Structure 1
Amino acid sequence: MDLKRQQIESFTVSGVQVRTTNAAEHKPDTAKIGPMWGDFFSKGLAEEMPGKQTGSPVYGVYSAYQSDASGEFDVTAGVAVNKLAENFKSIVIEAGDYLVFEAQGPMPEAVISTWGKVWSFFEANPQIQRRFATDFEAYTGPEAVSIYIGVR
């Protein structure tokens, strides 16, 4: 796996948000992330978000971690904005170092598979510690995603 470490400056994403756990997402009757994305796209928010930065990709942001990958966390589907969008959830991506995991292929399978690689990577490399502050997916094409994981 070809990983890169990248310094990210802080930026704000606005969109729709749910609170969930990884365990809940493994069961169709309790999964919230898929329906949230359906809501995001059915409302045309990728194109119509007030204050959207020109050329912003679509982001999936993971934040407000209760603990680690086993606890509750928030997921926001949105776009980068120049100003906070009223009536939408906004999250500030923390500045700092991120490991970038890239994937190509049909969605959502490519992103789900890549999250598996993220978890395996950190299990195999305990010396590299996740921050569990903000992590995010940047959808750079119809079949391209980069997952940014904040590290210490």
Structure 2
Amino acid sequence: MQKTNIEQFRVKGPNVRTTNKAEMGSTGKIPGLWGQFYKSHGNQTVPIYGVYSDYESDANGEFTVTAGTKATNSQEENVFIKSGTYLIFPANGVMPAAIIDAWKAVWEHFSNTQPYVRAYETDFEEYSGPESAAIYIGIKEHS
């Protein structure tokens, strides 16, 4: 895991509102969201993004997930990736198992006392190939 600064950019694509609890059970919406994205985009060139935004509170509240690509103009419906500092968690291997394992690493990392806390503004997955991705978690200094 490493720390990086990200400049704001936009991602366009379909979205759903959900919770981590719903995604752990049979009412998960994220698999259907990705199915909708791939159905309408076919073999999309990379990178592809999964954006987590509009957090109600923390990992226990509702949030919005967008599956998409970089937006090329402001006329497109989109979500902003906020500028800021992010921790990068790599996810390499067969998907979706690799990305699920990376999310487990995120949750484990932030379950311990850290010099940083999650900002819960925007987080995102960046898929750079069929077996290569990274999760970017927005952070702020521990107060």
Matched, 1:41 2:38: yes
**Partner of residue 132, structure 1:** 120
Alignment deviations for residues 62-120 of structure 1 (CA, whole Å, 9 cap, x no partner): 0000000010000000000121454xx41010001000000111111110111010000
Measured on the aligned residues, the alpha-carbon RMSD in Å equals: 1.5
- Summarize the alignment of residues 50-61 of structure 1 with structure 2, pairs less than 5 Å apart: 57-61=47-51
Tell me the secondary structure at the aligned position of residue 91 of structure 1: strand
How many percent identity over aligned positions?
Answer: 46
Structure 2: how far apart are the matches of 1:76 and 1:148?
14
Question: Could you list the runs of 4 or more consecutive aligned residues of structure 1 that deviate by over 4 angstroms after TM superposition?
Answer: none
Q: 2:86 aligns with which of 89, 98, 115?
A: 98
Are the equivalent residues in 2 in contact too, given 1:14–1:91 (CA < 8 A)?
A: yes
Aligned match of 1:21 in 19, 22, 25?
Answer: 19
Change (3 A) 1:56 1:81: farther
Instruction: Report SS of the residue matched to 1:43.
Output: helix
1:125 to partner: Cα distance: 2.9
Task: Compute the displacement of 1:26 (Å).
Answer: 0.8
Judge conservation of contact 1:56–1:80 (CA < 8 Å) in 2.
no
Alpha-carbon distance change, 79 to 46 in structure 1, aligned in 2, over 3 angstroms? farther
Counterpart residue type for residue 65 of structure 1: Y
Distance 1:129 1:21, change over 3 A: same
Tell whether the 8 Å contact from 1:102 to 1:114 is kept in structure 2 after alignment: yes
**How far off its partner does 1:45 sit?**
6.3
Q: Displacement, 1:46? A: 6.4
- Rounded Cα–Cα distance in structure 2 between residues aligned with 1:106 and 1:8: 26
Whole-angstrom CA distance in 1 between matches of 2:126 and 2:113:
24
Q: Relative to total residues, which structure has the larger strand share, 1 or 2? A: 2
Q: How many correspondences in the alignment?
A: 140
Query: TM-score of the superposition, structure 2-length normalised?
Result: 0.92
**In 1: Cα distance, 2:115 partner to 2:5 partner:** 19
> Normalising by structure 1, what TM-score?
0.87
| Cα pair distance change 1:15/1:106, threshold 3 Å | same
Partners of 1:122 and 1:20 in 2: CA distance: 21
The answer for the alignment partner of 1:79 in structure 2 is 69
Equivalent AA in structure 1 for residue 9 of structure 2: F
